[in-house]
Amino acid sequence: MNLKSLISVILILKLSLLNTGLSERAKDQMYEHFDGRMSCFRRLNGTHQIGCSSKKGGSTGIIHFVETEDNLNFIIKNGADTNYIPIIPMQLLTQKTMHLLKNANIFSGLILYKDNETLEHFTHERTCPNKLSNMKNTCDVAWNPNGTGLLYEDLPFPIYYLNNNEDLQKMRDCFETFNNYSYETHKARSLCLVELDAFMFATIDTPTCIRRSNLKTNLNPVKFCDPLGGENVWATLFPLEKKQMNYVVVAARLDTTSLFHGVFPGAVSPITGIVTLLTVADYLKRMVGDDENYEKNVLFALFNGESYDYIGSQRMVYDMSRGDFPVKYEADAKNPVPTIDLTDISLFVELSHLSKSGEIFLHSLDKSNTFYDVLKKHSFTKITEVVGRLPPASAQTFIKAQPNISAVVLGNYQDEYTNQFYNSINDNASNIDYYYYNATEIPLDSIQHFTANIAEMLAKSLYVEISGKDYKGDEKVRLDLVDELYNCYLLDADCKVHQAVQRKKLRESPYNSYSLYVGVTVVPNLLTYAIGLTLAWLTGTVTSNSTCVNEPASPMYQYFNMSKSLDNLNTTVCYRSIMNFTEAISPAFLIDDYDWKSGKYSSWSESTWKDFNVRMFLRPSPAHERFTLAIGSITMVMSIIIVYFIKSRSDVLFSTVETCSPTSC
């Protein structure tokens, strides 16, 4: 090949590379990508599937901006295409709207946004949460009267929550520029579209999904779903040294849920209960001091997965009934950990919704429950006893297994929730009127003071229960601790409490990695871990263990290097604690040949998915598409002709200079 031919080849290669780079940039300019993580997703139980899924590869539709129900009716009546994705405000996500969307057969997805209108209520939980796992007469009352139940419906298209105002404005501008005129010509011109990609691999129900996941059809088996579950957190006030000791259980739920992935704020439920329990644990530990000579012990328990038919409490009851809580008892072990049985529980106190209220209600089944009188004696506000029916609560799981347990549920409601945003994306810090004061003076009408008063009332009543006498000491509830705990779970993961428990990976993790959603068993929940460490810090005892590592000879104890106090984060000491974690996985996934239709245990699982993506683009008009196809076809034909011509004339176009060896010349 001569020099001219070589230069020609190099130029062609350079042009090819240049064109490739230009085409990649043009491709990137075709789409406007958005954060798609806040998408509705699919869950399954023993008989049904609920939630959302897109088509494989994504569901595409024409953007239509909606502000009122009339806007929605307009596109149903005048839409000329068969695939629209309306963008609607939160207040329009109701059973009526969903029924309208499903019956219209012109919608392929839905986008939800929050406008400036004040919402009176927004909850897509059922009117009676966990209705399939409650006691007989629980659902005679509509505890969550504004619940739409959409959380438990099988929705026919993907739904995406848009919480970024800039992204919302981009979609609105695109709609106004290309879509919001001449609706009768939609099929004939260029339009602004959005694609929602949230394809779920699981379908039908949990047993079907598990069976398909267990099929060994190739070397890389596909998992279609995972059981819902995580870990329960527990700790005792005193060591587990007396096998037959009676226990007072102080419990709260650890999880919440919502319609959208990644948005599980849970301010009223469960955070008010969690913060109250941790505050009680801290105060009660300081009240008893080093004295362990008490009539009863206190078991603090935080149950995970309670939003889905009481996963955590069902598992703890299952373990207790088999003699496996906190671990399986081994008589041959050198220092066996004593077990706790259901018969050891003398009183069960559950902390439910505890946001600010002028009255506290104590729900119980038995009028003869004496704990009400003790609470009333130490109460800071009006407290009313509600007898004969328990609200949806973990206590029901224990009572069904052991009817002799005396159980009470403490909440700020009588026969319907005061929380109008139960199990929704709007149960956030503003729902409990929380503001972080950061060591400054906290107003008396704040949620911090209210929680501190609840904790003081409950801790003093528990002291009477375990000792038989009133508390006469000088210890007080730490208001700054209450403020910091709310800050940790509502605003800032890198809070002082999480710094105090000295876990670097917790403090350096982004806030989005913390979640009050139970999740699946194969993914660890960092927030559950952080709450467990906090409980260990508040109930632990400073020890002189030089290495501060767990001792195999004493399996009951765990040792942690943690800060000395909130005011002295840089000084660490070794704490010995009886805090630990136990599995919060439904027994249904452990029992061989379990009858999935029996409803005895929770059977919830979550579908797997590849990714969540949302992108916006312009669809060309049919005329433009035909023109592009014609140009492409002509270009292809011309290319074939040119290539054929070049190949047939290659001996002329790419002639070479004849050369000969020196011996031949």
Query: What is the average pLDDT across 470-484?
Result: 95
Helices (H), 79-229: 95-104, 165-174, 206-214
- Residue 6 binned pLDDT confidence (cut-offs 50, 70, 90): very low
Among the ranges given (306-310, 311-315, 479-483, 543-547), the one the predictor scored with the smallest mean pLDDT: 543-547
Q: Is the pTM of this model over 0.85?
A: yes
Residue, of 653 and 453, whose pLDDT is higher: 453
Q: pLDDT > 70: what percent of the chain?
A: 91
Stretch among 31-35, 123-127, 281-285 having the lowest mean pLDDT? 31-35
Give which of 508, 507, 526 is closest to 516, Cα–Cα.
526
Cα–Cα distance between 575 and 577 in angstroms, integer? 6
Q: How far apart are CA 197 and CA 612, in angstroms?
A: 6
Residue 8 binned pLDDT confidence (cut-offs 50, 70, 90): very low
Q: Are 61 and 83 in contact, with CB atoms under 8 Å apart?
A: yes
Per-residue model confidence (pLDDT) at position 258: 95
- What is the band of 538 on the pLDDT scale with cuts at 50, 70, 90? very high
List beta partners, residue 160: 39, 111
pLDDT score recorded for residue 3: 43
pLDDT in the model for residue 27: 61
- % of the chain at pLDDT higher than 90: 72
Q: Looking at residues 504-527, what average pLDDT do you find?
A: 75
Q: How confident is the model at residue 556 (pLDDT cuts 50, 70, 90)?
A: confident
When pLDDT is averaged across residues 635-654 and rounded to a whole number, the result is 85
Query: What gap in Å lies between CA 435 and CA 375, rounded to an integer?
Result: 29
Report, as an integer, the average pLDDT of 551-576: 89
Half-sphere exposure of 512 toward its Cβ, with a 13 Å CA cutoff?
6
| pLDDT at residue 237 tops 80 | yes
> What b-and-e string marks burial along 568-579, b requiring 16 or more CB atoms within 10 Å of the CB?
eeeeebbbbbbb
Number of other residues whose CB lies within 10 A of the CB of residue 492: 13
Task: Say if strands 613-619 and 32-34 run parallel, antiparallel, or are unpaired.
Answer: antiparallel
Peptide bond into 270 cis (omega under 30): yes
Please check the confidence at residue 383 and state whether its pLDDT lies above 70: yes
DSSP state of 271: I
Q: What is the DSSP letter of 154?
A: B
Tokens read off for 286: 């300081």
Q: Helical H runs in 402-474?
A: 447-467
Query: How do the domains of the chain map onto residue ranges?
Result: 1-30, 32-208+611-619, 229-537+579-585, 621-660
Listed residue (295, 42, 291) closest to 152, CA to CA: 42
CATH superfamily of the domain spanning 229-537+579-585? Zn peptidases (3.40.630.10)
Once rounded to an integer, what is the mean pLDDT over residues 57-70? 94
Does position 522 have pLDDT exceeding 50, yes or no?
Answer: yes
**How confident is residue 292, by pLDDT bands cut at 50, 70 and 90?**
confident
- The DSSP symbol for 157 reads S
Which pLDDT score is estimated for 24? 52
The two most distant CA atoms of the chain are separated, in Å, by 124
pLDDT one-digit tens code per residue, 391-412: 999 999 999 999 999 999 999 9
Decide: 228 and 305 in contact? Cβ < 8 Å: yes
Q: Which of 167-171, 243-247, 258-262, 324-328 has the lowest mean pLDDT?
A: 243-247
Residues β-bridged to residue 572: 563
The pLDDT of residue 660? 57
Span 619-623, average pLDDT: 83
pLDDT at 1 over 50: no
List, in sequence order, every beta strand (DSSP E) within 365-457: 382-387, 406-411
The pLDDT of residue 657 is 58
Could you tell me which residue, 217 or 106, shows the higher pLDDT?
Answer: 106
C-alpha 40/C-alpha 49 separation (Å) is 13
Q: What is the residue-averaged pLDDT of the chain?
A: 89
Rounded to a whole number of angstroms, the CA Rg of the chain reads 32
